[in-house]
Amino acid sequence: MQTRNPLLNDFAELMTDAFSAAQAAGDEAQTVFRAQADKMASRMDFVSRDEFDAVKAVAQAARDEADALKARIEVLEKAATKPAAKKAATAKPAAKKSTAKKPATGTKKN
């Protein structure tokens, strides 16, 4: 036979109400904390994740373009130096001019 104890029923009901109140207080505290954190973050000028990812993608594209242009410049510089080296090797050596002074002709007064 099962008996109902009013004291235990009252205690169980009280505990259920207490847990509900604690859960509601926890939810409210979380809401207040989140609002304060958002307010603090907005004062610090943080960026959102979407903005950060967009800027990161633009920076990566710029870096890739700079690397491609650097490689292209290196190829063009190599191509420009090859004909100059080839011309220098095939050119006839120029006659050297003497830098020594020739003696003056004529009479010399003492």
pTM over 0.75? The answer is no
Nearest-angstrom CA–CA distance, 45 and 51: 12
Give the DSSP H or E segment for 43. helix 6-43
Which DSSP string corresponds to 62-95?
Answer: HHHHHHHHHHHHHHHHHHHHHHHHHHHHHSPPPP
Residue 1 pLDDT more than 50?
A: no
- The sign of the dihedral angle between the CA atoms of 48, 54, 60, 62 is negative
Q: What is the pLDDT of residues 11-66, one digit of tens each?
A: 888 888 888 888 899 999 999 999 998 888 788 877 889 999 999 999 999 999 99
The model's confidence at residue 94, banded by pLDDT at 50, 70 and 90, is: low
Give the domain ranges of the chain.
8-46, 47-88
pLDDT value, residue 31? 94
With vertex at residue 34, the alpha carbon angle to CA 32 and CA 40, rounded to the nearest 5 degrees, is: 105
Of the pLDDT bands very low, low, confident and very high (cuts 50, 70, 90), residue 68 is very high
The pLDDT assigned to 34 comes to 93
